[in-house]
Structures are given as C-alpha cells and as structure tokens.
Amino acid sequence: MAVPTKNIPAPDLVPVRRALLSVFDKTGLIDFAKALAAAGVELVSTGGTAKAIAEAGLAVRDVSELTGFPEIMDGRVKTLHPSVHGALLGIRDDAEHAKAMRDHRIEPIDLVVSNLYPFEEVRRSGAGYASIVENIDIGGPAMIRASAKNHAYVAIVTDPSDYASVVNALEMNLGSLSLDFRKMLAAKAFARTATYDAAISGWFAEALEIEHPTWRAFGGRLDQVMRYGENPHQGAGFYLSGDKRPGVATARQLQGKQLSYNNINDTDAAFELVGEFDPARSAAIAIIKHANPCGVAEGPSLKAAYAKALACDPVSAFGGIVAMNRILDAEAAEEIVKTFTEVIIAPDATDEAAAIVAAKKNLRLLVTGGLPDPRAAGTTAKSVAGGLLVQSRDNAVVDDLELKVVTKRAPTPAELADLKFAFRVAKHVKSNAIVYAKDGATVGIGAGQMSRVDSSRIAARKALDAAEAAGLAEPLTKGSVVASDAFFPFADGLLSAIEAGATAVIQPGGSMRDEDVIAAADEHGIAMVFTGVRHFRH
C-alpha cells in the first residue's frame, strides 16, 4: 500500500533565507558562499567546509548550533539529527509539520549544498578495503535525498557547475528559487546518489566475488550530448562510468570536430582490438569500419603496419577509424592522412605527428596515455526489452591458451605465429567471424554472417578484390592461415577456406562433427589447432 498523500500544492517561489553547506569538493565554494551571503542568506556549515568559509571572512554558523550536539565519531555523525532532517523534510504549509517544527525549535533550511566523499576516486586508486569503506558517505546522501524529496520547499545543489545558475536564479527571482528550478536540481540530486550507490554496490560485488548480485546497478555522468545516435532521428548522450581503462572515454581529444555516437562505438572497438598486440613485440595497426576490422597488421614500424592493414581492404578503410599500439609518429601520420579517416586513436602522438594531422581540421586525434589490458577482468552490459544482459569481459588471450594440434600435420612456426595473430583479430570481429592472415597481417575478413561458410566466402571475395586493386596475380589468401571465432559445424566452411588457399586453421573445436572437419583437413594436408575457447561477438 502506498504512503498516503496530503496533496498540499507546492509554492512556485520559495525565498532562500538559510543555506546548509557541507561539501568534500570545495571547488568554487567560497565564491558561491560569498554570493549567498551578499543575497542575505544565512550560512550554516559543518567541519572543514565551515572552517573554509570562516577563513574567507564570512559569517557562518556551525551545524552543532542547530542540533545542540557536536560532531562525533571522527565526523561520521554530524548532520544525522532531527534538527537537520526536520528542517529539510518539513512540509511548511502542513499545519502538523509546522507545529512540530515550532515545538522542537527546528529552523527551516531552504538550500542545501552538498557533494560526497570521493568513493569512486578512492576505489580507483587501489586503496585498501577499510579506506574504501571509510569513504562511503552516509550523511551526505541522506541530506541530499531528504532535500530532493522535499523540493517543494528546499533546493538541493550537488554539482559545483550549478553554482552560477543558482546565483543567477536568485538574482532573477529577488532571492527566491522557482519550483521548476528546484525540480531540476532534485532530479539531478537523485541521479547523483543513484550513481554513487551503484559504484558502492558494484565494488562490494567485486570485492566479495559475487558474480551475479541480486540487484545490479549501473551509473554514469553525462560527458556530452550528441547531435544524434546511430541514425539522425535518434537522440544520444555519452556517459562516463568512471572506469579508467585506457580508451575513448578517458582519451584527450587533441583536435577535430566532436565525436559522434558511431565514432565512439567504432573507436572503442578499434582500440580494444589493437590492445591485443604488445607494443614491445611489434607495432600494430587496426582499421575499423562499423565496429568490424577491415584491416589489421603488425610490422617493424607503424608506417609498415598501416600499409599492410590498408592493403587488406582499401575500399572499406575509407572513412574508417585507425588505432595503433604505439605513439603516433610523423611517418605514420603522413601515410594515414592520405586516406579519408574519421578518427585516429593512439597512446600518444609526437608534436610532428600532431601537426601533420592538424592539417585535416575535421580529423579527430585522440591520445589515451596507455593501452587497454586484454587480460583485465571487467563487466559489459547490453540492453534488451525489459532488462539488461550482463557478462564478464572476454579477457581470454590466445597466448595463454593451450593449443591442441588435431591434424596429422602440425603448423610450421610461421603458420603458428599467423594463427595466433588471426585468432586475436577474430576475437574482435562480429560473429560469424572468419579471418585470413599472412605474415602478420589480415588478408581477408568475413564478419556478421548467419552462416560460417558465407563469412569464409565473403572474406575470400574481399581478398580477391584487394588483389585486383593492388595489381597482384593472386589473392594473399594463397598460403595464408585462417581463424574461426567458433567451431565449424560442418566441413563446408573449412573447405571454402582451403579453396581460398589457407594452409592452416585455428578454431575452438567442440562441434558434434569435429571428426568430419579434422578428416577434411587431413585429406587436404592442412594443419589445424583447437583453442578450446570460443569468441562469439554479437
């Protein structure tokens, strides 16, 4: 049964006569406090906030004057008191509430300024369990939620970026705040505490190794409102979760126009893929279009790797995303800008490279400061009607897998190196995925087909097209290896790869017809290894 409602209409304008300020982040605090004081607002505060305000020469009452009770337990208990929460929750036009406030000498509070202990930052810092727990704010969320619930009479400010708009609204309304404005602040306040609690509950699940908690919450802060989503008729915004994994969300954009929804999606896919390649071993380039790679390659330099990656599918690379695992240098930048490119993302860029890219004013250049760890644990979520699908990140790395040779012929060392390369790439290709590779470069990619044999044929067809464009006598799939993200359910997909010229195959295995597929491989004298791990990507 719902809580009964008294249906007392909320006033439009509420004068702000008393404000309670209790903040951890003191950005802009003193200027805001000065503006409130100049508007005739009485300032009430707590602990370090009160000290900062007093040191600025402003009159401020300690909250203990309202409560008649000092801060105790290292500041854990200071605002959790009826004199504070009664001042925030009282319905002033309700006779019973008004009488209770008079009887208990509760002075109304019209404005609350509160932000929270830095739980998210402390968690990310790698602090110990006790330190993280100590940075779970209790009094702050309680005050914020109480004020937001009673927005009919109380304004709640949780973000320093809103200080200027509050001052402006007070000036416009001669010391009052409107109901619409208070509603807007309340909505933002509830979103902030929800995000805060999501971070706490997520940490607890992680710390206690609870893979599937009964209640799962996700939160984020708006980073940018986009012109549109995947299509022009769809609205879109980009929210930051606070995860510091190197990538598009944490990158600095050195130049270029605003990233679109599709840019961000594709750039994330590109950088996660290139993160599979150790920069200490070789340079690597990934060219992405519509979240699928159209060319990936390793090389002694970024320039060499880019040339090999581009050769895989130069047509699809037009208007694509280019990701790399090393610092962008001038010679690589000169090659990349020759083809129309939407985004370049790299761990960093030299001044010379940045200047070359700057000549293309719309080309976005992002630097991340590092590479994503392909082995790191994490969580991904996907919305479906009425719910969320949540799973652990696919952090299986081919170098860590026990590969099993299942054919009469074992792969040569060169074939094995290319097989591992191809399987790294296949992990980041939409299923059904087929990847042909040769000499550390993709030479044919088939993605997102309903039939694995179709993916194999499409990849081979693309290799033929690339060979014609390059003036080659035969496609590079001749003498290549092939990777499949999942098992071959029938031998037809394998036979198609053999027809394209593949000499060795890497696949998870596990089909009811594995023996038929192995027999077909042996019949044609090719090598096959099983990984035991599947990389579906939908």
Query: Tens digits of per-residue pLDDT, 420-478?
Result: 999 999 999 999 999 999 999 999 999 988 888 889 889 888 888 888 888 888 888 99
Question: 459 and 500 in contact (C-beta within 8 Å)?
Answer: yes
Specify the pairing of strand 404-405 against strand 434-437: unpaired
Concatenating the DSSP letter of every residue in 90-109 gives: --TTSHHHHHHHHHTTPPP-
**pLDDT tens digits for range 85-95:** 888 988 888 88
What gap in Å lies between CA 296 and CA 343, rounded to an integer?
16
Report residue 257 CA to chain centroid gap.
Answer: 20
* Bridge partners, 336 (sequence order): none
Residues 345-358: tens digit of each pLDDT? 999 999 999 999 99
Q: Residue holding tokens 């309202």?
A: 66
Give the DSSP per-residue string, 294-337. Answer: EEEEEESSHHHHHHHHHHH-TTTTTTEEEEESS-B-HHHHHHHT
Q: Give the tens place of pLDDT for each residue, 29-79.
A: 999 999 999 999 999 998 889 999 999 999 999 887 776 667 766 666 667
pLDDT band at 536 (very low <50, low <70, confident <90, very high): very high
* Catalytic pick among 26, 34, 81, 149: 149
Position 77 scores a pLDDT of 67
Among residues 183, 188, 290, 478, which one is catalytic?
Answer: 290
* Residue 393 near residue 378 (C-beta atoms within 8 A): yes
Active site (annotated) includes residue 34: no
Distance of CA 98 to the CA centre of its chain: 47
What's the pLDDT tens digit per position in 206-224? Answer: 899 898 999 888 889 999 9
| Residue range 385-394: mean pLDDT, rounded | 91
What is the side-by-side strand order in the sheet with 252-255? 252-255, 364-367, 341-346, 320-324, 283-289, 292-299
Distance (Å, rounded) from C-alpha 405 to C-alpha 208?
A: 39
* pLDDT at 488 > cutoff 90: no
- Return d(Cα 345, Cα 337) in angstroms, integer: 13
Rounded to an integer, what distance in angstroms lies between the CA atom of residue 357 and that of residue 355?
5
CA distances from residue 484 to 106, 257, 269 in whole angstroms, order as listed: 70, 37, 19
428 is catalytic: no
Whole-number pLDDT of residue 292: 95
Q: Which residues pair with 285 in a beta bridge?
A: 297, 324
Provide the residue type at 396 as one letter: A
Burial (CB count within 10 angstroms: exposed 0-12, middle 13-18, buried 19+), residue 316: buried
Identify the CA nearest to 283 among candidates 245, 344, 329.
329
Q: Are 529 and 484 in contact (CB under 8 A)?
A: no
Distances in whole angstroms, Cα of residue 487 to Cα of each of 427, 430, 453, 494, 512:
13, 15, 11, 10, 10
User: Which pLDDT value is given to residue 68?
Assistant: 66
Q: Is the pLDDT assigned to residue 109 strictly greater than 80?
A: yes
